[in-house]
Structure 1
Amino acid sequence: MFSESKKKRSGETTRGQSNRIGKSTNIKGDVVSKADFRIDGKLEGSVETSGKIVIGASGVITGKVICANADIEGRFEGELLVSNLLTLKSTATIEGEVTVSKLSIEPGATFNATCVMKTGVKELKSSEGKKAEKTA
């Protein structure tokens, strides 16, 4: 159906590609993607992506999310693991467990969650090559 040149080859970048769950869509199950993902509908299950998750104002996720970055305007309930930046807009409601590197919360957002902020720990070595101390 597609010519060989239009098929996606293993290892190609997913930059510019995104997936979307519309307002009138309800999904139960697990989603895995390398591209960005926008949810304006409802998803019950888990989402895992190496890209960005956007939960629109009408979007709802109940379950587990693993991603690099996330922007949330809607509702999330469950376990959220963001390896870089989590941004909560003023209309966001978060309940559950959150693990993040960086966190931005606009006034008006509801954040009822346990939160762990993880950053890289880098070892410093003295000029003699010995481990001196650890710093964040």
Structure 2
Amino acid sequence: MFKNKTNNQEYKSGKSRTMERNVIAKNSTFVGEITSDGDFRIDGILEGTLKTKGKVIIGVDGFIKGTIEATNAEIEGKFSGQLSIANILTIKATANISGDIVVGKLSIEPGATFNASCAMKGALKELNKTNETKQASEKTA
């Protein structure tokens, strides 16, 4: 009855004006797999997998047990599992992290608990290039 044609057309074409932020609120528990292009803020509990092209924020009261794949992340709460961040992972002083982590860049504030194995993508690429160069020069020598 009161439909806006431009908004309806944007919805049908798959184009939106702004990126949405999804929230799992405090005192909420979600179990399962989430896939999205938008940002996420977790103030409750998530057990499972979260895949997004956006940013993931785990609030002070938030807890994720499982797997996260995202472009950027900021953690103030608890995380346990496998974390794969393409760009920057920021770990705040209140954070408690355990598991396996692969990041592009890492920032950890003093006071954070960080009990994880960590690999940096940029460092791995540079190390592989260095090894390939050494092997090539050894073959020609």
TM (normalized to structure 2)?
0.80
Between the two proteins, what is the percent identity of the paired residues? 45
What's the CA shift for 1:16?
A: 3.6
Matched with 1:21 is 24
Alignment RMSD? 2.2
Give 1:6 deviation, angstroms: 1.9
- For the residue of structure 2 that corresponds to 1:45, the secondary structure is strand
Amino acid at match of 2:80: E
SS in 2 for 1:23: coil
Amino acid at match of 2:108: I
Amino acid at match of 1:6: N
Say which structure is richer in helix: 2
> Residue 69 of structure 2 aligns to which amino acid in structure 1?
I
Taking the aligned partners of 1:74 and 1:23, their CA distance within structure 2 comes to: 12
Match of 1:60 in 2: 63
8 Å CA contact retained: 1:14, 1:35: no
Report the number of matched residues: 125
Q: Equivalences for 1:1-136 in 2 at 5 Å?
A: 3-7=4-8, 8=11, 9-10=13-14, 12=15, 15-119=18-122, 120-121=125-126, 133=133
Give 5+ residue unaligned stretches, structure 2.
135-141
Give the number of the structure whose alpha-carbon radius of gyration is greater: 2
Give structure 1 regions of 4+ aligned residues with deviation exceeding 3 angstroms: 1-4, 13-16, 120-123
Task: Report which of the two has the higher share of strand.
Answer: 1
Amino acid aligned to 1:81: S
Q: CA deviation at 1:65?
A: 0.1
Letter in 1 for 2:104: S
Structure 1 residue 58: deviation in Å?
0.2
Residue ranges of structure 1 left out of the alignment (5+ in a row): 124-132
